[in-house]
């Protein structure tokens, strides 16, 4: 089974109380269950693919990835992907926050 992981960004400070639907999606990808980060882990995401204003600055500075801490995980069940012959895909949202200063 594969998983589709969506990374949403929780900004630091007072905005940390945002509801999940109000947090912007900054990255998504498919992964195997073994590749899914756990809450508390630090993940490196490619700056060139991030939907985050600071990622452009990091990319211009020559950094190829930004690091984030996984602070929450929400499993949204599974669905089948018709284009791939009906393979089940698990939908997971990971909430991340700043790790790099």
Higher pLDDT, 38 or 85: 38
List of residues 6+ apart from 63 with CB closer than 8 A: 47
State the Cα angle at 60 between 43 and 100, rounded to 5°. 30
Q: Is the pLDDT of residue 20 over 90?
A: no
| pTM of the predicted structure, to 2 decimals | 0.80
Under DSSP, the state recorded for 39 is T
Compute the mean pLDDT over every residue in the chain, rounded to the nearest whole number: 83
- CA dist 22 and 65 (Å) reads 24
Residue 101 has pLDDT above 60, yes or no: no
DSSP H or E segment with residue 60: helix 53-60
């Amino acid at each position: 089974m594969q998983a589709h992981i969506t990374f949403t960004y929780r900004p630091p400070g007072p905005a940390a109380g945002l509801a999940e639907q109000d947090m912007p999606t900054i990255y998504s990808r498919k992964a195997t269950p073994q590749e899914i980060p756990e809450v508390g882990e630090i993940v490196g995401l490619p700056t060139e693919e991030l939907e985050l204003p600071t990622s452009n600055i990091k990319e211009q500075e020559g950094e190829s990835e930004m690091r984030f801490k996984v602070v929450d995980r929400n499993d949204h069940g599974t669905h089948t992907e018709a284009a791939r012959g009906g393979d089940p895909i698990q939908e997971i949202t990971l909430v991340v926050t700043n790790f790099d200063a």
